[in-house]
A and B are shown apart, each in its own frame.
Chain A
Amino acid sequence: MKILRRFLDKIKPSFEKGGKLSKFHSTFEGFESFLFVPKTVTASGCHIRDSVDLKRTMSVVVLALVPCMLFGMWNVGYQHFLSAGDTSQTLFSTFLFGFLKVLPIIVVSYAVGLGIEFAFAQVRGHEINEGFLVTGMIIPLIMPVEIPLWMVALATAFAVIIGKEIFGGTGMNIWNPALLARAFVFFSYPTHISGDKVWIADGYSGATPLSNAPAGLSDLPAVSDMFFGLIPGSIGETSKVAILLGAALLIFTGTGSWKIMFSGIAGALAVGYLFNAVGGGNSYMSIPPYYHLLMGGLAFGLVFMATDPVSSAQTETGKWIYGFLTGALVVVIRVFNPAYPEGAMLVILLMNTFAPLIDHYVVAANIRRRRNRVAYRAKQNKEIPSN
């Protein structure tokens, strides 16, 4: 590694201010800090610092997404061969089929997103933010497999520029960038993200459980298929097992908030049971509440997107409220709005919008407690006259 280090030290000066390649300073810095933890030492405050940094944190999230990605690749192949009636495929050939379908989407998402990030970092004179490592992975996982690559590129560019960079980059954005990418496709090219044609590769059609759900229980796949993920759907969202694995890692490392995940599930179940109890003309209202967790993108959204620390509620009390409302509203939209078979995407974006409001009231309560303390003391002083 010394050779590499020596090489970097040699070319470094030309990237610094005044150097020939100073236009690419951020890019160089990005690659250098990717290869080597910089030798920067603490200058103020604490002399020692925790080993964790944003690269590490984001790597954990990417790692948590890997089961969903691998299973998604396999499922793309599985769904394809199932529709084609081909039963001769091995595990490997099934995976390979999906791998070749999904890989280009991942590559396009990363290439476009990171390209824009690098450009913005350079113009602003910032270091490159690691946030897109996660976004770039989530975008492919919430797209249908038949999405054209140019659309992935366009959606990613929209998400990164309009969703993030205009606010100032990672940490400043209001909405989850990956969901914005999906929302962009949803509204701009609706036929490519809903309907029956897009979920299974190479022209075979198959409806997702969500689009069948309004017709009632009879049209839905077996619970075990939905749990293990052997159903059509966006690439990464189908297997609840893979999502649970990811959730376990996020919760264990403290990277994702268990409060949001837990209260989100509670919210979905609560509203689901409420609808069961009310009953009524809509047969969607009477499906068992836990089906909502197994169908569509709710589980994936709750674990990987509603927990995005930047766009979700940031106070602990706020997280309970935010999570609960997310879960509850997803079920409400699914059941009452047939125009949007999947509520998770729009609900999380909506709740992202309201997260600062929730936090505002939580912080206001803290301010009130502090103010009341003064009032309480003033009252005490009046009762006991000081000598």
Chain B
Amino acid sequence: MSRIIKIRKGLNIKLKGSAEKVLGTAPASSAYAVRPADFKGLTPRLCVRQGDEVKAGTPVFFDKYRPGIQFVSPVGGTVEAINRGDRRKLLEVVIKPDAKNIHEKYEITDKLLSSREQIIELMQKAGYWPFVVQRPYGIIANPADRPKSIFVSGLDTAPLTVDIAFLLQGQEEHFQKGIDILSRLTEGKVYLGLDADDAASKLNRITNAEITLFTGKHPAGNVGVHIHHIDPVNKGDIVWTMDAQHVAALGRFFTTGTYSAEKIVALCGSKVKRPQYYKITTGASMRAFENLIDHSEDTRYISGDVLTGTNIGKDGYIGFYGNRISVIPEGDKYEFLGWAMPRFGKFSASKSYFSWLTPNRLYDLDTNLNGGERAFVVTNQYEKVLPMDIYPVYLLKAILAEDIDRMEQLGIYELIEEDLALCEFVCTSKIEVQAILRRGIDLMIKEMS
């Protein structure tokens, strides 16, 4: 019997537009992009030029400081554009797919699978290494490190929840293979966190990993919460994490030897006409989904969930990480005396609104900030939604003061943005918690290297 961990703190934000468990094929995309901004802390070095022919799996840029880590084209075609921003910062490499869509192929031998070094080398070469994210810092792992354990979260609790078991349906064998590969990469254990309320899930039969069942409100599905409760990251520790769908993709690659950037995403949110799941190729353009979205008002297109995702705009490209696209209304509207009105339709974790009366109601939230930024005033607000033994406000203040020692003492190694996303959501003072945390992490990386 697997261990069950009950997460008592947290908050479920119930939004309109959850994806129905129906899998469709996404409309064809006329362009795909690889975006360095998807990878935290990366300094890219370009290795293709405009007009170059690429296969699916051909490197387009690599990490300047760790040249082994390659970032590859998701499809076969030609490099259509290389878009740069201020100071020639590389924004995206756009690839126009062709009909042939040739994929890179590699030979997978038993000898290769028995060597940790060769697995890591191939993962880097074939473009699979960016799947491996390390704690601390939430950046792409260093292939030279030996992590004390590897964590995979098999449940999702973020708003507009995605059913991971559904994403992996029919892929269980690949997922198992991926777990087997991961277990070669660490001397410690591979931990798989699963939903305690979904006992029928086929993922419960996965071997080679220690299964822990989680139940509770968001962020019970966050891998950071799993790490904190099972094998916390101390100073000097390295833990690796991988997205569940990426584990399956890794397993598929080591079974077939063919590069593939296919994944399933949920197209969800109140502005989507029929929210459901779609099979896509990473980096597809949002424009492909144009007809599936209600354009009656200003809309925000988010690659990822509404708490942590990236605003990609209606012409943007779907990001490398994440299992959903959330489309919600923009909130650039004034509201007369809003703060003083009863506002029955509004959601709040605090009881100064009336949403506590209707716990099962679904809300259509927009992107309005709902107030102005202030100094920290209200206490015990973050703590209620952070199921970790960490004092978030003290940590944030240490970051603002750029006090490295204190940041370390207060547990910055254990956190990445998604863990504090709910703190930012509930904050009365509208403090940019995630941005501050990232500033702290960047400072740590700079000072500790």
Contact = CB atoms under 8 A, between A and B. Distances in A.
A17 interface: no
Interface string B390-423: 1101100000000000000111000001000100
Interface in A338-378: 363, 366-367, 369-371, 373-374, 377
A60 B337 contact: no
27 contacts: A33-B372, A35-B337, A36-B334, A37-B371, A39-B368, A44-B432, A46-B306, A47-B300, A47-B302, A47-B326, A47-B367, A48-B367, A49-B371, A50-B348, A50-B350, A54-B371, A54-B377, A59-B352, A129-B375, A168-B375, A310-B377, A312-B379, A316-B380, A366-B389, A370-B409, A374-B234, A374-B235
A377 B234 CA distance: 9
Contact of A314 (B15, B334, B393): B393
Chain B interface category by residue count: 35 or more
Interface stretch (A70-78, A91-99, A237-245, A249-257): A249-257
Contacts of B371: 37-38, 49, 52-56
Interface stretch (B127-135, B196-204, B339-347): B339-347
B348 A52 contact: yes
Nearest to B410: A367
A386 interface: yes
A309 interface: yes
A43 B369 CA distance: 9
Interface stretch (A169-177, A197-205, A291-299): A169-177
B334 A38 contact: yes
Given A38-B369, A56-B352, A48 B328 contact: yes
A254 B384 CA distance: 11
A41 interface: yes
Contact of A52 (B326, B332, B350, B380): B350
Contact of A363 (B309, B343, B380, B410): B410
Nearest to A316: B380
B262 interface: no
Interface string A102-140: 000000000000000000000000010111000000000
Given A47-B307, A49-B369, 19 more contacts: A33-B372, A35-B336, A37-B371, A38-B372, A42-B368, A45-B435, A48-B366, A50-B348, A50-B427, A52-B350, A53-B339, A54-B374, A56-B371, A130-B374, A171-B375, A309-B378, A366-B410, A367-B409, A370-B411
B365 interface: yes
Interface string B348-359: 111111010000
A186 to B, nearest CB: 27
B368 A49 contact: yes
Nearest to A49: B370
A3 B378 CA distance: 35
In the A-B complex, the 9 residue pairs with the smallest Cβ-Cβ separation, listed nearest first, are A53-B371, A171-B375, A37-B338, A45-B434, A51-B346, A55-B339, A36-B334, A37-B335, A48-B365
Contact of A54 (B346, B353, B428): B428
Interface residues of A, number: 60
A53 B432 contact: no
Interface of B: 13, 15, 159, 187, 232, 234-236, 300, 302, 306-309, 311, 326, 328, 330-340, 343, 346-353, 355, 365-380, 383, 389-391, 393-394, 409-411, 417, 421, 424-430, 432-435
A277 interface: no
B368 A41 contact: yes
B374 A170 contact: yes
B47 to A, nearest CB: 31
Contacts of A373: 232, 234
A4 B337 CA distance: 12
B334 A37 contact: yes
A186 B353 CA distance: 39
Contact of A129 (B159, B330, B374, B434): B374
Nearest to B350: A52
Contact of B379 (A38, A47, A314): A314
A60 B352 CA distance: 7
